[in-house]
């Protein structure tokens, strides 16, 4: 018994029959397809997301190779700022520092963190971090700044955070902490001008 393979000619393959539409039905179907596409893809939110993704990818493409040794590729999120950092700052600001306050940190802490931590990095580092990690249309950043730091940058960050926590323990107000940190950094402007008013 010999087995023979059945070969098929491509011309013999049956093609599914497509129902021929009248010109009026074609117009209706085309209009329906366009309307569905616009309803889904043409919303302001969808366009905003597309524009945002494009601008972020375009910026990252152009600024892939940073000359700043502190800034590198994005890393996964790992808790970097310890709890005492925020409790001390909230205490110095006279704000409650309970569990709820630590979960939903006031926005002022972001500005203060930039002032007392990220501005201590070499000149231009904070600006570059902000450019590489811009604020989205929803009002937040996709990453935390420390996720973009290299190992060298992370070592500096840890040193700065530990220094702030130690200094904060001996301070009564935020301005006192700020002035002490500025003195340590070697700033030569009059630091305690407004300290007596706080």
User: What pLDDT digit, counting tens, does each position of 149-173 carry?
Assistant: 999 999 999 999 999 999 999 999 9
Total domains in the chain come to: 2
- Residue 115 and residue 184 share a domain: yes
In 10 A of CB 151, how many CB atoms?
10
- Residue 148 and residue 99 share a domain: yes
**pLDDT tens per residue across span 23-49:** 888 888 877 777 776 666 656 666 667
Question: Helix, strand, coil: what percent of the chain each, to 5?
Answer: 60, 0, 40
- Domain of 53 in residue numbering reads as 23-62
- Residue 158 and residue 122 share a domain: yes
Question: How is residue 5 written in tokens?
Answer: 């393979």
**pLDDT tens per residue across span 128-155:** 999 999 988 888 888 999 999 999 999 9
Alpha-carbon distance of 164 to 133, in angstroms, equals 24
What pLDDT sits at residue 27?
Answer: 80
- Residue 55 and residue 142 share a domain: no
- Residue 180 and residue 90 share a domain: yes
Closest CA to 113 of 177, 69, 197, 187: 177
Domain-located, residue 186 = yes
Quote the distance between the C-alpha of residue 124 and its chain's center.
18
């Amino acid at each position: 018994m010999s087995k023979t393979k059945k070969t098929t000619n491509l011309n013999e393959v049956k093609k599914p029959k497509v129902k021929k539409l009248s010109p009026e039905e074609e117009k209706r179907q085309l209009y329906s397809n366009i309307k569905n596409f616009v309803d889904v893809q043409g919303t302001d939110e969808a366009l905003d997301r597309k524009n945002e993704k494009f601008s972020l990818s375009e910026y990252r493409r152009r600024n892939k190779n940073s000359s700043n040794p502190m800034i590198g590729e994005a890393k996964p999120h790992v808790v970097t700022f310890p709890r005492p950092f925020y409790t001390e700052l909230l205490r110095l600001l006279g704000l409650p520092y309970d569990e709820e306050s630590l979960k939903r940190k006031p926005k002022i802490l972001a500005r203060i963190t930039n002032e007392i931590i990220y501005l201590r990095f070499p000149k231009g580092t904070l600006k570059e971090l902000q450019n590489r990690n811009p604020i989205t249309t929803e009002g937040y950043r996709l990453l935390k700044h420390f996720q973009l730091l290299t190992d060298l940058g992370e070592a500096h960050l840890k040193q700065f955070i530990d220094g702030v926590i130690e200094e904060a323990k001996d301070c009564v107000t935020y301005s006192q902490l700020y002035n002490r940190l500025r003195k340590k950094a070697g700033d030569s402007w009059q630091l305690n001008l407004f300290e007596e008013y706080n």
